[in-house]
Amino acid sequence: MNSDINLIIDELVKQNNITYMEAILKYTDNIDGEIEAVAKVLNKSIKDKLEMEAQELHMMKKKSTKLPI
């Protein structure tokens, strides 16, 4: 079932040309579920894409690969 959710979210992104954030919200609304429950079953790939979107929108700080000096 978990992989089904991930596939559905990927399909929503591709078919509707929307972000992963929007796709997760749309999926959650469609199943009348809670975002927290869906978030627990997302795979690492989708979580990484979601994190990149959030960083691009300045909703999260970008991870720094530099050592503090």
- Quick check: 13 and 19 in contact, CB under 8 A? yes
Q: What does the pLDDT read at residue 69?
A: 65
Residue 63 CA to residue 68 CA, distance in Å, equals 13
**Residue pointed to by tokens 């796709």:** 23
* Predicted pLDDT at 59: 79
pLDDT of residue 67 exceeding 80, the answer is no
Quick: pLDDT tens for 38-61.
999 999 999 999 999 988 887 777
Task: Please check whether residue 9 is in contact with residue 46, taking contact to mean a CB–CB distance below 8 angstroms.
Answer: yes
Longest CA pairwise span in the chain (Å): 49
Among candidate residues 52, 23, 55, the one with its CA nearest the CA of residue 39: 23
DSSP character at residue 42: -
pTM of this prediction?
A: 0.79
